[in-house]
Structure 1
Amino acid sequence: MNRMIVGLGEALWDCLPEGRKLGGAPANFAFHAAQFGFDAVAVSAVGLDALGDETLKEFDKKGLEYIMPRVDYPTGTVAVELDEEGIPTYDIKQGVAWDNIPFTTDVEMVAQECRAVCFGSLAQRNEVSRNTIYRFLDATPDDCLKIFDINLRQNFYTKDIIKESLKRCDVLKINDEELVTIGRMFGYPGLDIENKCWLILGKYNLKMLVLTCGTNGSYVFTHGDLSFQETPKVNVADTVGAGDSFTGAFTAAILSGMSVKKAHELAVKVSAYVCTQNGAMPKLPEEFTSEIKK
């Protein structure tokens, strides 16, 4: 059985107070999915620069497979500032390599062998990468699980991009703040959180909707059922990449045949652990990775 999981979109460096760390939601997602025994691939682009060289070396060091065409734009960086609770704010540089991901033969071959792909809104801010993402999704097998981790950042999204992505995905992952934004954008701000989620699930015929609410827990909506998990109390180092680790663990668990409730439990434990570590790609303890039968 093919076990390939793909993170598709931005590859960049988070410039944190304590130094520079490799990040980008798709790479974070693929890194964590790989820790559960899947063949995970990060698909993006890097520049023809020293930081591009460093990016590929770092992926090699972490053992993460990647398809990263070199393009004539600078490798992406993000200035990250953390508040007193470790919550990040981002200054995402524009006109960078991951804005210009080409749809190459290698990218198409990965799409054709893909069991699950996670993509977001950020890498769709430029037409080149947006078209590559849509072509990738169109090239996947019919049973490929398409996860839209909406990941709203700054002003790098539009109603049309959100709507098109919702039409193309099976699973929406969204946080409570993003849900408020989407509610206003789509004209149903008066509904409570749960009713907004049920409405989106039905309107776009999604298989699942995952809602994370920070310290207030998380929900997984499926047709006719709802899973809720409280957020564990931990000593937070930073929350960078925690959501991506949640999505990676949840996707790996679902593809392994785990129930939604059990997959949700595992994802919550993994993301809580990542919050206790610096950076987006810590190695997970075996007590978590061993929960999925390889």
Structure 2
Amino acid sequence: MAEIISFGEITLDVIAVTPNLMPSESVSLLDRVHYSFGGRGANVALFASNQGIESLLLSSAGKDFVSSGYHQQLKDRGVCCDYVFIDHEGETTPKAFVFRDKSKTYTFFYPGVTELMKTEVEEHIKRNAEGLKAEVLYCTSGLQELNLFLLENMNARLKAYSPGPEITHYSKEELIQLLAVADCLFLNKFESDELRIKLGKSSADLNKDYNLKFHVVTLESNGSLIFEGVKEYFVRRCKPRIVVDGTGAGDSYAGSFLAEYLRSGSLKKAGEVASVVSSFVVEELGCQGNIPTKDQINERLKTY
């Protein structure tokens, strides 16, 4: 049994940096183009594994997942990929194209074989519902119906849901369905604001009204907030050496948070470790460009 099962996309990311993103029908000259491995599901599984937690990735990918070396990297990092359904014939692994300047970020997503998850994952869970168990299930796929299916049917002591930027596409009714079967939430500030507006509830009311054990709101350079019952904890930001790129920092936070929470049972300590880990991630382009070692994490924790 895995300690954490992460369900969500695997992506091959293209991150482009420019001094200024020009208006439509103009040309923006790029300072740098960076190719990296990413995807919310894969990132969370990797950073949980990096903390010494047995993690399993539940996802789909194309043949370039293997040929790019991404498959091998995840396995080398300790992530179980036995439940990554790979289309070896045609379709490609999903791709994220991120264009940013000093003030704006535009992200475009090509779904590739994401649709494969709708059939393969659901059928597998139906056949093996008793065999696939975990301490924590983390659902962050853009496939809302499948998030709901897994949260309702998989066997896990703690069921975490992270809607991601797709939250703007979900109705109030869809979100209520998911909150009813989740134990905790991971949100950034934009997602938290969107959720509160759609539901008409304060952050403090979310836990009480939907019986959540806790929910976490990351605030980029302003730290993070953890809501447990009626309690609220502020976790200050861990200052990075330099800020280069925030892509995937929230994923690294979530994976590291859940790993430490499983280990210590302390939400505050989990937030502190997650803050330290994400401070390394933002120092390079791409979520997986600067994965810290345990020694690096412990050293930075001393001065945090």
Shorter-chain TM range is: 0.7 to 0.9
Which residue does 1:187 correspond to in 2? Answer: 200
Mapped partners of 1:209, 1:111: distance in 2 = 28
Q: Does the aligned pair in 2 maintain the 1:121–1:152 contact within 8 Å?
A: no
> Does residue 122 of structure 2 align to residue 122 of structure 1?
no
> Does residue 159 of structure 2 align to residue 146 of structure 1?
yes
In structure 2, the CA distance between the partners of 1:264 and 1:232, relative to structure 1 (3 Å rule), is: same
Please point out which of 96, 99, 104 is paired with 1:81. 99
Which residue does 1:192 correspond to in 2? Answer: none
Which residues in structure 2 correspond to 1:152-231 (within 5 Å)? 152-153=165-166, 155-188=168-201, 196-231=202-237
Q: Does the aligned pair in 2 maintain the 1:150–1:174 contact within 8 Å?
A: yes
Mapped partners of 1:252, 1:179: distance in 2 = 22
Please point out which of 241, 244, 262 is paired with 1:255. 262
Which residue does 1:56 correspond to in 2? Answer: 71
Q: Does the aligned pair in 1 maintain the 2:54–2:78 contact within 8 Å?
A: no
Bigger shift: residues 174-183 or 147-156:
147-156
Once the two structures are TM-superposed, the CA of residue 156 in structure 1 deviates from its matched residue by 4.3
Q: Does the aligned pair in 1 maintain the 2:98–2:106 contact within 8 Å?
A: yes
Bigger shift: residues 203-212 or 52-61:
52-61
Once the two structures are TM-superposed, the CA of residue 258 in structure 1 deviates from its matched residue by 3.5
Q: Does the aligned pair in 2 maintain the 1:149–1:172 contact within 8 Å?
A: yes
Equivalent pairs counted in the alignment come to: 274
Mapped partners of 1:155, 1:92: distance in 2 = 15
Which residue does 2:24 correspond to in 1? Answer: none
Structure 1 residues without counterparts, runs of 5 or longer: 125-129, 189-195
RMSD: 2.7
Runs of 4+ deviating beyond 6 Å: none
In structure 2, the CA distance between the partners of 1:145 and 1:186, relative to structure 1 (3 Å rule), is: same
Q: Does the aligned pair in 1 maintain the 2:276–2:297 contact within 8 Å?
A: no
Alignment partner of 2:247: what SS? coil
Mapped partners of 1:110, 1:24: distance in 2 = 27
Q: Counterpart amino acid of 2:248?
A: G
Q: Does the aligned pair in 2 maintain the 1:40–1:65 contact within 8 Å?
A: yes
Once the two structures are TM-superposed, the CA of residue 99 in structure 1 deviates from its matched residue by 3.1
Which residue does 1:32 correspond to in 2? Answer: 47
Query: What is the CA deviation profile of residues 117-142 of structure 1, one whole-angstrom value per residue up to 9, with x for unaligned ones?
Result: 11125232xxxxx33x334333433x
Q: Does the aligned pair in 2 maintain the 1:220–1:228 contact within 8 Å?
A: yes
Which residue does 2:26 correspond to in 1? Answer: none
Which residue does 1:20 correspond to in 2? Answer: 35
Query: What is the CA deviation profile of residues 99-122 of structure 1, one whole-angstrom value per residue up to 9, with x for unaligned ones?
Result: 331125489469732111111252
TM-score (norm 2): 0.80
Q: Does the aligned pair in 2 maintain the 1:76–1:98 contact within 8 Å?
A: yes
Bigger shift: residues 31-40 or 159-168:
159-168
Query: What is the CA deviation profile of residues 151-205 of structure 1, one whole-angstrom value per residue up to 9, with x for unaligned ones?
Result: 12485433333222211211111122222222222235xxxxxxx1111111111
Which residue does 1:70 correspond to in 2? Answer: 86
Alignment partner of 1:276: what SS? coil
Identity %: 23
Q: Counterpart amino acid of 1:97?
A: V
Mapped partners of 1:154, 1:79: distance in 2 = 19
Query: What is the CA deviation profile of residues 251-288 of structure 1, one whole-angstrom value per residue up to 9, with x for unaligned ones?
Result: 01111134211111111111122111222123213236
In structure 2, the CA distance between the partners of 1:26 and 1:50, relative to structure 1 (3 Å rule), is: closer
Mapped partners of 2:196, 2:108: distance in 1 = 25
Which residue does 1:44 correspond to in 2? Answer: 59
Once the two structures are TM-superposed, the CA of residue 8 in structure 1 deviates from its matched residue by 0.1
Once the two structures are TM-superposed, the CA of residue 150 in structure 1 deviates from its matched residue by 2.0
Structure 2 residues without counterparts, runs of 5 or longer: 17-32, 300-304
Which residues in structure 2 correspond to 1:126-137 (within 5 Å)? 130-131=145-146, 133-137=147-151
TM-score (norm 1): 0.82
Mapped partners of 2:188, 2:275: distance in 1 = 14
